[in-house]
Amino acid sequence: MKIEILHLLEGAKNAEGLTVIIDVFRAFSTTCYAFDFGAEKIIPVGNINDAYQLKNHHPDYVLIGERNEQKPEGFDFGNSPSQLIKHKITGKTIVHTTSSGTQGIVNARSATEIITGSFVNAGTIVRYIKEKQPEDVSLVCMGYACEYPTDEDTLCAEYIKNELEGKPNNFKKMVNIIRKGSGARFFDHDNQEWAPVKDFELCLNLNRFNFVLMVEKENAHNYLRKIEI
């Protein structure tokens, strides 16, 4: 099994084989929590206008996402797992758009299969890949707004790669690196409205979920399908 760690939009465009699009803070942690709260379907879109259009055609859809980490105008929720309200998303179709993770999905056009990646289901991702035994695995770290790499995405890719190769991981050390680096913004008092401490904790809750989220196509749109492992 050839395992390659790639970065940002260029990495997504170059991804081949079974591709894991990684966005720990917070896109693909948020989607896991949304499914855990009972969401029926999640439609990831890159263009925010597509999200608004889907909402216009389907007023019962729930809009979740961010631009510059802020909740866009007219959206029901920002890209925050701690701020989701269970009874408002249970049984609902969610339209999800972010500056990083969903952009990776729409740009990974050469991948044979796409799943999403985060620490909250990293162990299940590893089991899924081991079961599939693909020749090529691409671990794509989407970074901050697809502009520069971040500690959490790169370390999540390294965690998955180490597990697949039978190498040791020190998750506690990884958390400390993230806490002092790109995750420090979650501990800034001025950021709590849009980047609360609770999100840091939820997104780094290792192996909380026993499912992967696979990208599939329905009509003109991608959607995420929950597959329990």
CATH code for position 58: 3.90.1560.10
Q: Which amino acid belongs to residue 123?
A: G
pLDDT in single tens digits along all 229 residues of the chain: 999 999 999 999 999 999 999 999 999 999 999 999 999 999 999 999 999 999 999 999 999 999 999 999 999 999 999 999 999 999 999 999 999 999 999 999 999 999 999 999 999 999 999 999 999 999 999 999 999 999 999 999 999 999 999 999 999 999 999 999 999 999 999 999 999 999 999 999 999 999 999 999 988 899 999 999 9
Q: What is the distance between the alpha carbons of residues 1 and 135, in angstroms, rounded to a whole number?
A: 5
CA atoms within 13 A on the CB side of 129: 28
Residue 167 lies in a domain: yes
Residue 199 lies in a domain: yes
Is 64 in contact with 79 (CB distance < 8 Å)?
Answer: yes
Q: With both helix axes pointing from N to C terminus, report the angle between 171-180 and 151-164 in degrees, rounded to the nearest 10.
A: 170
For residue 82, the 8-state DSSP code is G
Q: What is the distance between the alpha carbons of residues 77 and 54, in angstroms, rounded to a whole number?
A: 16
Residue 185 lies in a domain: yes
pLDDT of residue 220: 85
Range of the domain at 123: 9-224
Residue 172 lies in a domain: yes
pLDDT of residue 205: 98
- Rounded to two decimals, what is the model's pTM? 0.97
What's the CA dihedral at 23, 24, 25, 30 to 10 degrees? 90
Q: Give me the number of domains the chain comprises.
A: 1
Is 3 in contact with 184 (CB distance < 8 Å)?
Answer: no
Residue 2 lies in a domain: no
Residue 74 lies in a domain: yes
Helix (H) or strand (E) holding 136: strand 136-141
Residue 1 lies in a domain: no
Residue 81 lies in a domain: yes
pLDDT of residue 207: 98
